Amino acid sequence: MERLLPSDPSRLGGYRLLGRLGAGGMGVVYLARGEAGELAAVKVIQPEFAQQAEFRARFRREADSARGVDSPWVVPVLGADTEGPAPWLATAFVPGPSLAEAVAECGPLPARVVRVLGKVLARALDAVHRAGLVHRDVKPGNVLLALDGPRLIDFGIARPTAAEETELTSDSMVVGTPGFLSPEQARALPVGPASDVFSLGCVLAYTVTGRLPFGGGAADALLYRTVHDTPDLDGVEDVELRNLLERCLAKEPEQRPRLAEVGAELVEDAPTGSIGWLPDPVVRMVADRSAEMLALPGIEPTEISGESARQRPGRRRVLAMAAGGTALLTAGGGAALWAVLRDNGGRTPASSAARREWVIGIQADLTGPLKAAGTAQERAARLAVEQFNAREDKPFPLTLRVLDDRGEPARAQAVARQLTRDRYVFAVLGPTGYASARSAVEVYESAGLPLVTVSELSVSAVQSALLAKPRRYFRAAPLAAYSAYATVTALTAQGSRRPGLLVDRAGGITGMESVNVVHSATGAGGVALYARVVPALAPDVSTVVADMLAHGVDSFYYTGTPERAAPLARALAARDFTGPRFLDIPSATPAFVSAAGPAGEGWQVLAPYIDPAAAAVRPFATAYRKRFGGAPGDWAAEAYDVTRLLADRLTALAGSAKKRPSRTQVADALAKARFKGLVTTYAFDADQQLITRQVQHYQVKGGRFVYDGPVGLSAS
């Protein structure tokens, strides 16, 4: 929101203007407050256009159209003056982002969210059509996201279904937003309700893929592709949703489903008092917008006596809840906001500050290259928080704030800034990988906010990010260097005296860390290492196999990527090589097993993470499966333990007074921790690294990595 300009009015009708929400060629939209304290979005025609008959006619029609629609999913009209010298229209203010903003900030949304969104928008458009209107501008920018569901806005170009054309909207004009308008709109033909169905299909396709279904570029090219090309629905993995989108995007209006059919096929329940329909990053966007409203200037209080004063909660109370616990992932508290809205018993709820005091942040790659690990960690943390909050003796409600950095350095830094600026966040679990850590760690260090990772285990991330050694970055799993060192020990134990090290530069900097460790570890003990380095652009790493075997190599250790490890495995299998074969951690994924096929059998890895199916973590795996309907992934058990560790430290610091500790106190408590988790006992050395004496051994058997148990590290 921008400040009011000196030329802006201070009041319109019964509304006091507070700031500018936006401005366009036709007018300005203000944030305003009514006499009862309600917030409104007030659209005003610019004075230079108010005298033009066509603009005033369009504005008058927008007000009449919006008034005629009766739906909880359409933003209602609160007041209007379409005949005065400065025509204005006031609608309820929704303190949330548009769908366009949410997708731009958070990326494509999950299929379940898209189903809920489609079902609700179908209901909204059905109400529009029942009022005898066609919206004609259904697009992400005209959908606002609220905690209780989306809202359709902007009837500026809506018109009666059978109305005569005017000079304002004639059949010769293309009216709408290219990329989201229908073929009949693109061809400037008469439109009916089926046109809105097509636009709804475009909106849902954009939401689930993050792309316009008919591409981008110049408007004329977009219009041509809308009329002639098939939509791009690649990436829509939900078969039923994809089939529905294809029908909505049919070129001929009569081939598209009716809105009632759309709603019936989108089987997800519409929002009914829970924030659960939105993913956490979008919920946080809503919360941030709501929090901004708390700083707005006040108005003179109105005296309300008796029970009515207790029956209606104040705006600040509702917004404080939206910006606090209900707008975050508070386990078991999804309906807290609705309890406030329904409250008619005069009860005083816990303050918003109390609900927001105890927050653990999560910075994870949820949609990027490491999304499997990031999602596993986020869900495990969610489970730990739910279990903590279910305790009758819990000292406070614990909350998660989850942000997705997509594994992108620039975004990771922005996410870190968001979390460090949130004064309620005591510590953060994350990041997922090296790229994020390299740009984010320094932000956390500067803010003094403890950061605990279970899967970013490189040395280089902090060395390249900081001039000084970090003091707030805790590694809650063995560093990758330990796995490399243990691999040399394992090769020797398995009889190798001439190990071959194949360094694939496609593996990046973390692979080179393993190389340095291996060179140091093989410098003594009668082990003669032979190493080869393959450029990242080399088409096939297996071309060096003949040379390595000619030099008497009796075992292999490959550092690189799973896709490029597979040709090496096949080349060794073709030569009947049966000596010990190890992968580094990034290469040891299901992608390697799939690409290598039978040649992958027998390959091994020493990893920092325990098998989620191992006996030691079976109680966690059982609870995880019950909660999320599937088995936990790698790093999940460690994330579960660390979340419990953080809850334990916060509980100890709070004491009986439940006083908020400082971030420095939390960091000190972590440094001194000795917490017995399911995976290991968590204690840290002077460099904030986990004190550990073991890594985990896996071997490919029967087409998958099978857990063989822990492997000890030598005292040296």
Task: Please name the residues in contact with 119: beta carbons below 8 A apart, sequence gap of 6 or more.
Answer: 262, 263, 266, 268, 270
239/243 Cα distance (integer angstroms):
6
Q: Which residues pair with 33 in a beta bridge?
A: 16, 39
588/248 Cα distance (integer angstroms):
42
Helices (H) and strands (E) in the chain, counts: 26, 25
192/160 Cα distance (integer angstroms):
9
Q: What DSSP string describes 462-488?
A: HHHH-SSPPSSEEE-S--HHHHHHHHH
Pure H helices in 162-231? 183-186, 193-209, 219-228
Q: List, by residue number, the catalytic residues.
A: 137
109/102 Cα distance (integer angstroms):
9
**Nearest alpha-carbon partner for 263 in 76, 136, 125, 138:** 125
Angle between helices 111-130 and 239-248 (to 10 degrees): 30
Q: 153: exposed, middle or buried (C-beta count within 10 Å: 0-12, 13-18, 19+)?
A: buried
274/329 Cα distance (integer angstroms):
11
Task: Please name the residues in contact with 406: beta carbons below 8 A apart, sequence gap of 6 or more.
Answer: 107, 365, 366, 367, 368
- In sequence order, what E strands does 569-632 have? 581-583, 604-607
Quick one: residue 13, left, alpha or beta (phi over 0 = left, psi -120 to 50 = alpha)? left
Element containing residue 500 per DSSP (H, E): strand 499-504
User: Residue 339, Cβ neighbours under 10 Å: how many?
Assistant: 15
Phi and psi angles of residue 251, each rounded to the nearest 5 degrees, phi first: -70, -35
164/68 Cα distance (integer angstroms):
19
Provide the 8-state DSSP code for 680.
Answer: -
93/117 Cα distance (integer angstroms):
19
Which residue in this structure is represented by tokens 């981008």? 216
Contacts 24+ apart (CB under 8 A), 588-591: 588/562, 588/698, 588/705, 589/562, 590/704, 590/705, 591/562, 591/563
User: Are β-strands 681-682 and 359-364 bridged in parallel, bridged antiparallel, or unpaired?
Assistant: unpaired
Q: Which residues pair with 583 in a beta bridge?
A: 558
User: Residue 624, Cβ neighbours under 10 Å: how many?
Assistant: 24
Element containing residue 636 per DSSP (H, E): helix 636-654
Which residue in this structure is represented by tokens 């920092």? 608
